[in-house]
A and B are shown apart, each in its own frame.
Chain A
Amino acid sequence: MDLEILQGIISIIIILGVAPLFAGMVNKQKAVLTGRVGAPILQPYYELQRLIKKETINASGSSFISRISPLINLVTLIIAAAMLPVGFWKPLISFDGDIILFAYILGLVRFFQILAAMDIGSSFEGMGAAREATFALFAEPIFFFTIGSISFISGFTSLYDIYHSIQLTNISYEVFIIICSISVFMLAVTECSRMPVDDPNTHLELTMIHEVMILDNSGIDLFLYQYSSYVKLFIYAILEVSFFYPFSKQSYLIGIIIFITGAIALTFLLGVVETITSRYRMKNIPQYLLFATAIGILNLLIYTFTK
């Protein structure tokens, strides 16, 4: 019992500690693929270190929502991280039906971010909030139709149990998991505002979705937002990599190897996608998201009929 809690705490520490490194690796991959040297892999840590030293300035017209939102952001993400199984370890929070909590805890993050953006009262932030809310509407079904369909098939409703139900013995289940991982990848791209939905490197206020909402934040607030976005990206990375664990073997060595190679492969994949695709037109993004949902629905149908 005590060991499980310890393992859960270590999992959270791993997620919180490694998250910026993952973001740094994606950026490095992207730089190398476009023929540049790029910033060091540890750059996100330096950025965070820089931000934490800076003074926090709040927009003059903003209320307490803007002040508490960054903290709520990080705390809720830590709770989400606590529900995520890292490797074979049981997460700190795990109960039947926790996928619903997980999905809406991430929803809460977005809710407060949108509120905070509207709170500042600038037209930019309002525009970003409108876009975020619109695209979130299309992104939510992706989660439920992919993770939800695995849950439906396996009969479990907790993330830990769902992942442990993946036994790579049944071929049709294997194909199913691979296709599900594609939709989760598309979901991750959307939720973490990366290409081709949102460009994290752009300086153009009018095209931003996520970045424009935090345009007026600085210092600790920006640190919290920035750190939350790294954690969020890493949470989705774990969601993705966990599909490929050898759950039937329960070998720690293979587990660690798969975790590391999976994460590196994912940075590579994100890097490639961001290098060779251009951003979609804003009005075409819902189509892209509906496509990911369609994959989920199709999967569910195929599994139901071939079982």
Chain B
Amino acid sequence: MKSLEVQNNQCFDRAAIQFLDRDDFRNSVSELMQNNCRMIALTPVDVNNGRKIIAVLADSSSSMIHMVGGDFREGKLEFESWANDFPQTNYFECELSENYGYVPLNHPWLRPVRKQNVILKNKPYQFFKLEGEEVHEVAVGPIHAGVIEPGHFRFQCHGELVYNLEINLGYQHRGVEELLLKANQNQRIILSESIAGDTTIGHVFAHCNAIENLSNTQLSLRAEVIRTIASEIERIAMHLSALGGIANDVGFALPASSYGRLRTLAINSLAAICGSRFGRGLFVYGGVRFDLNETIINTVVENLKIINDDVREINKYLFSSVGALSRFEETGIVNTNLAKSIGLVGLAARASGIEEDTRINFPYGAYRYNPISMITLATGDVFARARMRAIEIEETIRFVFDQIENIPQGEIKSEHGRMAANSGVVSIVEGCRGEIVHIVFTDEARVLSNYKIKDPSFNNWYGLSLALRETAISDFPLCNKSFDLSYAGHDL
């Protein structure tokens, strides 16, 4: 095998990666993808040396992560694109091209990901155009009528029917990856907490896992469980807010405001644990900053009990309403094959019938000892994505109660050592939307040489644009909310 195989959070030596020449590199990656591996990153090992890249692929069935190195020191920065056979690599290739000047040959549609001017060399971007007398184009954003994040959507429509949707993002690009490379230890945690405002714990969890494993820090079981509880409460809160959004988008006022009310209880539980409703400041290298005591546990349990009881009632009401169901069902379908080929992750993938949950496929933290159940639905429409959330909330609450009941004793913080030199680690965490990947490399001076982040939104925006095909344009907001993707997480 020409690839390096590691497990989630396993620290490895950079020298163990074998760098192949361009044809070998391309074929090895193709072969892995043929064997059901998913691409999770395409990035150089060292940001200052863009000519040595690695492709990171995850194999869910064997829980292994494959790394294939490619050496482009000689000749042009060109490789034959995979995107025609494996559409999942489409965006990764665009990203690599944008950041390091690579040219994926025969790429179907090379477009800017975050920086509008790099690939296009300051020419304005030409959107995909449909021609015909009755065809019209609708441009939405980046400034919207509501208080939401900026993103530009370009619809090619025939009447009310959408034929093609292009999503142009990058308006929230803050250069998080570059900032993380420059930041000191204390700043890094704060930075990773703000990668995507609504997945604070997901990203900081992935970041801490990566850095701790690079420095061989062992966490106490109690710290692991507290982290897991916090991350699951965040999941409950985000699912509730997404369900509220979905109900609101079909104008269903009663469930919308009820979900909103329950979300407050969920984020207040996080505030009870760490003082911040979004879980900021809870994570430190080597553990957590705040311990759970009797009163905190009581508040959290009480809140979750109310959520558990009320959410069942509201779910029953929402999912038995004929009006709502007629909007949800068969709207924005992503079928299993399509979802697989474009590499959908997380909740959206599970709603399309793919058994893909990082907590089960690549267990980390407390999930290694306490399994959570795999939930999938087959239809891949708005209904499946909404229903997934409803079921996941119930399962997550069960899991949290289980954890709180059997919480282990011990220290909450252990000593954090120095990062190993010339090493790397891949850390995958299941955030509320899906798979969050942080890939970290260090150089011989024990300084970070590359920090690559992949938010689940990076994969799933592609899914949204395909889900809209042959769907009424008035159903776009509903589809959008059913995916509930992050702009900041994508734009970094």
Contacts and interface: CB of A to CB of B under 8 A. Distances in A.
A74 B139 CA distance: 31
A91 interface: no
A33 B252 CA distance: 12
Contacts of A275: 253-254
A283 B253 CA distance: 21
Interface residue range, chain B: 20 to 34
B327 A278 contact: yes
B275 interface: no
B63 to A, nearest CB: 41
A279 interface: yes
A306 interface: no
A35 interface: yes
Contacts, number: 83
A123 B261 contact: no
A206 B254 contact: no
A204 B146 contact: yes
Given A196-B323, A206-B140, A279 B250 contact: yes
Contact of A207 (B138, B247, B258, B477): B477
Interface in B220-250: 247, 249-250
A37 to B, nearest CB: 11
Contacts of A278: 247, 250-252, 321, 323-324, 327
Most chain B beta-carbon contacts within 10 A, residue among A33, A199, A279: A279
Contacts of B398: none
A215 interface: yes
Interface string A115-141: 000000001101100000000000000
Contact of B474 (A30, A195, A206): A206
A195 B252 CA distance: 9
Contacts of A276: 254
A123 B136 contact: yes
Interface string B141-153: 0001110000000
Most chain A beta-carbon contacts within 10 A, residue among B250, B254, B326, B474: B474
Nearest to B325: A278
Contacts of A215: 145
A204 B257 contact: no
B473 interface: yes
A49 to B, nearest CB: 22
Nearest to B323: A278
Interface string B457-492: 000000000000000111111000000000000000
Given A204-B477, A206-B140, A207-B477, A282 B472 contact: yes
Contacts of B140: 205-206
A284 interface: yes
Contact of A274 (B138, B144, B253, B475): B253
A280 B253 contact: no
A198 B386 CA distance: 22
A281 B138 contact: no
Interface residue range, chain A: 20 to 34
B323 A123 contact: no
A277 B323 contact: yes
Interface in B397-452: none
A56 interface: no
A182 to B, nearest CB: 18
A203 B477 CA distance: 10
A205 B145 contact: yes
B137 A123 contact: yes
A280 B474 CA distance: 11
A34 interface: yes
A276 B144 CA distance: 27
Contacts of B473: 127, 206
A30 B251 contact: no
Contact of A277 (B249, B252, B256): B252
A32 to B, nearest CB: 11
29 contacts: A33-B254, A34-B258, A36-B257, A123-B136, A123-B137, A124-B138, A196-B251, A202-B249, A203-B145, A203-B146, A204-B145, A204-B146, A206-B140, A206-B473, A206-B474, A206-B476, A206-B477, A207-B249, A215-B145, A274-B251, A276-B254, A277-B252, A277-B323, A278-B247, A279-B251, A280-B327, A281-B326, A281-B472, A281-B475
